[in-house]
Amino acid sequence: MISVIVPYWNSEKWLPRCLNSLINQKGIFEFLFVDDNSTDEGNKIVTQYAAKDKRIIVLKNEHSKGVSGARNTGIEYAMGEWITFLDADDEYFPDAYDTFRSALSVDADWHQFNHMRYFAKSSKLVVRLENFGGWYTQSSPPNYWFGVWNKLYRADFIKDIRFNEDLQYGEDGMFNLECFAKNNRIHHAEKQKMVVKHILENQKSLSHIKTWKDLLHQAHTYEEFMLRQPDPMMRIMVCKELSRLWDSPSFEKCFGEMYYDG
């Protein structure tokens, strides 16, 4: 069984699209929707779908913990041999289950899949087809290795790995760095196979409202992780990621805001 963990907070606008893409999957799934203390009609929507599809399980955090805390709640309750994550404004392609099952014919602790990214603000669709099927390592990782919604993790493999709830930004990358430190080989599914359409539509998500303090905290967390690594290749991988972060437009924009904040 595959456990799909979907954290949501005030996502009533996008939940029906996400839910419809899941209930149309003809496969052995459980869909764990974790309500992180929403104040809109999101929980009502999920509950209505759960009444129609018993694979949908509704969980609720007593206090808002953010996306990391909601995902960690889902991991604690997941019963599947495999675990993956989906955002509330994302959707699966109709043959996602078949693509998952095909990848699982390869013995690996974690798998990555190609995907589409849709930038709703600019109506721009980007098809990610850069990664060929096969094995990648931390010294030569696949493109977009830091996402978690384009991965499938063996449940036993991540039983002692959790999302860092102190991070407001970069928590996906930190989770996958922990995975690379545990097993530096990741399997990528065939190039032409895509599972998810990652839709960047929720302008209130943390990735859209990050501050310079969030980015600094992310950089310091990555640096601390790097210093704990005995494997020099892991240290190099984290250094490359830190270099990419410092050179990103997000850092430049946020540090401009830091300057004007005084």
CATH code of the domain in which 129 resides: 3.90.550.10
What is the Cα–Cα distance from 30 to 245, expressed in whole angstroms? 35
**Higher per-residue confidence, 212 vs 34:** 34
Other C-beta atoms closer than 10 Å to the C-beta of 121 total: 9
pLDDT of residue 65: 87
pLDDT of residue 135: 96
pLDDT of residue 187: 97
pLDDT of residue 259: 47
Q: Do 47 and 122 lie in a common domain?
A: yes
AA identity, residue 15: L
What is the Cα–Cα distance from 214 to 58, expressed in whole angstroms? 30
Helices (H), the chain: 15-23, 42-50, 66-77, 96-103, 171-182, 212-227, 232-246, 249-261
pLDDT of residue 124: 61
* Band (193; pLDDT cuts 50, 70, 90): low
pLDDT of residue 202: 58
Measured between alpha carbons, how far apart are the two ends of the chain, in Å? 52
Q: Do 198 and 233 lie in a common domain?
A: no
* Residue from 95, 194, 112 nearest 153 by CA: 112
- Answer with the one of 151, 178, 202 that is the final residue of a domain: 202
Mean pLDDT of the chain: 87
Q: Do 152 and 224 lie in a common domain?
A: no
- pLDDT > 70 in the chain, percent: 84
Residue 10 DSSP one-character state: S
Q: Do 128 and 35 lie in a common domain?
A: yes
Beta carbons of 22 and 31 less than 8 angstroms apart: yes
Q: Do 76 and 197 lie in a common domain?
A: yes
- Answer with the one of 150, 181, 202 that is the final residue of a domain: 202
Q: Do 149 and 40 lie in a common domain?
A: yes
CA atoms within 13 A on the CB side of 214: 18
What average pLDDT score do residues 25-41 get? 94
Residue with token string 């805390």: 69
Asked if residue 180 has pLDDT above 70, the reply is: yes
pLDDT of residue 243: 84
What is the Cα–Cα distance from 191 to 132, expressed in whole angstroms? 5
* Whether the predicted model's global pTM rises above the 0.85 cut: yes
Strands in 114-119's sheet, in edge-to-edge order, are 91-92, 194-200, 114-119, 124-128
Q: Residue 170 is part of which domain span?
A: 2-202
- pLDDT > 90 in the chain, percent: 65
Instruction: Express each pLDDT in 3-31 by its tens digit.
Output: 999 999 999 999 999 999 999 998 999 99
Q: Do 215 and 148 lie in a common domain?
A: no
Q: Do 239 and 197 lie in a common domain?
A: no
**Apex 65 CA angle, 6 and 119, nearest 5:** 50
- Answer with the one of 155, 180, 202 that is the final residue of a domain: 202
Q: Do 187 and 215 lie in a common domain?
A: no
Q: With b meaning 16 or more CB within 10 Å and e meaning fewer, what string describes 30-41?
A: bbbbbbbebeee
Longest dimension (CA), the chain: 55
Q: Do 148 and 220 lie in a common domain?
A: no
pLDDT of residue 63: 80
Asked if residue 149 has pLDDT above 70, the reply is: yes
What average pLDDT score do residues 87-92 get? 93
Q: Do 222 and 165 lie in a common domain?
A: no
What is the Cα–Cα distance from 215 to 170, expressed in whole angstroms? 8
Number of domains forming the structure of the chain? 2
